[in-house]
Amino acid sequence: MQEHSEVVPVLRTWLLGLLSPAEGEALEQRLRGRGTDSDEVIARRLRDSLADLSHWNEFDYIVVNDDFERATQDLESIVTGQGEHLRRDRPELRELLARLLS
């Protein structure tokens, strides 16, 4: 999630977007599966991802990155002006965000 802070200044001129893992557990599995980070680094990255997610309401669009191909298509939809279904105020995000931020 940290990477979004590096991309947002570039995107801010034409759109705002946020990539988020569908589940904290999925992110942890990905990090552990790489086998490159210590438990301390993984714990810090998980904390950082929650801090990043807490800013979800600052974005116009939210793309849930639980399926890379779909997330890529969603980003393309936003860029081409067809991403209204990905706006941050869509009802199905409330439950997901509540679960991720609890």
Give the CATH number of the domain where residue 21 resides: 3.40.50.300
Per-residue confidence band for 12, with pLDDT thresholds at 50, 70 and 90: very low
* C-alpha closest to that of 65 among 15, 26, 9: 26
Higher confidence at residue 66 or residue 74?
Answer: 74
- Structural domains counted in the chain: 1
Average model confidence (pLDDT) across the chain = 79
Whole-angstrom distance, CA of residue 36 vs CA of residue 84: 38
Whole-angstrom distance, CA of residue 78 vs CA of residue 86: 8
Percent of the chain at pLDDT exceeding 90: 22
Look up the domain containing 92 and give its range: 3-101
pTM: 0.65
